[in-house]
């Protein structure tokens, strides 16, 4: 980092630094988590792939909603952004039935108050994408909430605005991804409010860490789908009989290389830009 910065927060695989009162620096590491555990082995360039993808989507969606991005770092893994007042909900949209959505459907026939048709199977495509907000858990898992609970947290006007924008952004990104052989099954977006009271898209956007990416050519509803990016890691971890508690296993070099290849492939398919060009000049993703 060229500027002095104060560390303000850590995610499992990312860090936030304050540049000044108005600006933050988000830094994406090469760490990878599986089954909620960060592994001791890194995936080279993973942080760059995720940073480049977010930058790409922020640029592509700027006519739909303003975003927090100010600049990409020359290292390709850092994002200088506007500091916002973040909404206290995760804005999740689901086009397919997976994860906690599939679980909730099995228990109640509903997801976040959306009653779904009977007889759906795991990974089925939904009749239409649904907005399924969640609370932001400080530790443990986010909790799916219905409209009333989310309105109690952010107010009705903000809720309706966030829902409309989340659905519109998902439609835009999922169509582009599908044309390039990737199903964007669901995604989590985060919004903040700027000093003028405008809703602004923040954090990361349509990365494999904030979304479920499925290879379209292997799509087969009726069970869990292979993950576009992490499947080699999951399969390897399952093969060990690891109990999925800390610490996780070291990854062998073929699993690391194969997984890096999947991240780079996702980047190149979705952006249409060669990853080497991104490394040479990160701003290429901004168009």
User: Is residue 11 within the footprint of ligand Q0Z (CB under 6 A)?
Assistant: yes
Please give the full DSSP string across 175-227, using - where no structure is assigned: HHHHHTTEEEEEEEEEEEE-TTS-EEEES--S-TTTEEEEEGGG--SSSPPPP
d(C-alpha 74, C-alpha 234), whole Å? 32
The residue among 218, 214, 248, 206 whose CA lies nearest residue 230 is 214
The vertex-235 CA angle with 234 and 240, nearest 5°, equals 95
What is the x/- site pattern for ligand Q0Z, positions 177-196, by CB under 6 A? ---------------x----
One residue of 39, 43, 84, 150 binding ligand Q0Z per CB under 6 A: 84
Of 46-54, 75-83, 162-170, 227-235, the window that binds ligand Q0Z (rule: CB under 6 A) is 75-83
- Residue 236 CB contacts under 8 Å (≥ 6 apart), including other chains: 249, 251, 252, 255
d(C-alpha 284, C-alpha 287), whole Å? 6
User: Is residue 9 within the footprint of ligand Q0Z (CB under 6 A)?
Assistant: yes
User: Is residue 215 within the footprint of ligand Q0Z (CB under 6 A)?
Assistant: no
Closer CB to ligand Q0Z, 71 or 216, in the complex: 71
Closer CB to ligand Q0Z, 19 or 86, in the complex: 86
d(C-alpha 273, C-alpha 57), whole Å? 13
The residue among 264, 273, 287, 283 whose CA lies nearest residue 80 is 283
Binding footprint of ligand Q0Z, residue count (CB under 6 A): 17
Closer CB to ligand Q0Z, 16 or 154, in the complex: 16
One residue of 46, 68, 94, 230 binding ligand Q0Z per CB under 6 A: 68
Closer CB to ligand Q0Z, 67 or 271, in the complex: 67
* Residue 90: burial class (beta carbons within 10 Å; 0-12, 13-18, 19+): buried
User: Is residue 82 within the footprint of ligand Q0Z (CB under 6 A)?
Assistant: yes
Of 10-18, 53-61, 127-135, 154-162, the window that binds ligand Q0Z (rule: CB under 6 A) is 10-18
d(C-alpha 174, C-alpha 95), whole Å? 9
Positions in 14-33 near ligand Q0Z (CB under 6 A): 14-16, 24, 26
Buried b (16+ CB within 10 A) or exposed e, 9-18: eeeebbbbbe
Supply the minimum distance, in Å, between the C-beta of residue 81 and ligand Q0Z.
5
The DSSP output letter for 92 is E
Of 79-87, 147-155, 249-257, 276-284, the window that binds ligand Q0Z (rule: CB under 6 A) is 79-87
User: Is residue 55 within the footprint of ligand Q0Z (CB under 6 A)?
Assistant: no
User: Is residue 48 within the footprint of ligand Q0Z (CB under 6 A)?
Assistant: no
Binding site for ligand Q0Z (CB under 6 A): 9-11, 14-16, 24, 26, 68, 81-84, 86, 192, 202-203
């Amino acid at each position: 980092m060229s500027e002095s910065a104060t560390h303000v927060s850590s995610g499992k695989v990312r860090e936030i630094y304050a540049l000044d009162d108005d600006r933050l620096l988000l830094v994406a590491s090469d760490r990878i988590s599986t089954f909620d555990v960060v592994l001791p082995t890194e995936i080279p360039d993973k942080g760059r792939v995720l940073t480049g993808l977010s930058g790409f989507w922020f640029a592509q969606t700027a006519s739909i909603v303003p975003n927090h991005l100010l600049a990409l770092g020359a290292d390709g893994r850092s994002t200088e952004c506007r500091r916002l007042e973040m909404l206290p909900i995760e804005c999740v949209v689901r086009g397919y039935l997976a994860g906690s959505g599939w679980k909730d459907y099995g228990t109640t026939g509903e997801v976040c108050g959306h009653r779904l048709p009977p007889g759906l199977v795991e990974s089925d495509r939904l009749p239409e994408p649904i907005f399924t907000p969640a609370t932001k858990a400080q530790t443990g898992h986010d909790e799916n909430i219905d409209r009333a609970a989310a309105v109690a947290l952010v107010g009705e006007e903000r809720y309706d605005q966030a829902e409309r924008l989340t659905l519109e952004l998902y439609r835009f990104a999922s169509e582009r991804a599908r044309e390039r052989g990737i199903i964007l099954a669901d995604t989590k977006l985060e919004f903040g409010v700027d000093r003028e009271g405008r809703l602004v898209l923040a954090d990361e956007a349509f990365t494999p860490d904030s979304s479920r990416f499925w290879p379209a050519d292997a799509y087969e509803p009726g069970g869990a789908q292979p993950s576009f990016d992490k499947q080699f890691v999951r399969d390897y971890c399952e093969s060990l009989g690891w109990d999925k508690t800390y610490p996780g296993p070291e990854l062998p070099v073929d699993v690391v290389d194969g997984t890096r290849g999947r991240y780079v492939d996702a980047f190149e398919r979705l952006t249409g830009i060669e990853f080497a060009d991104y490394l040479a000049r990160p701003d290429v993703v901004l168009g």
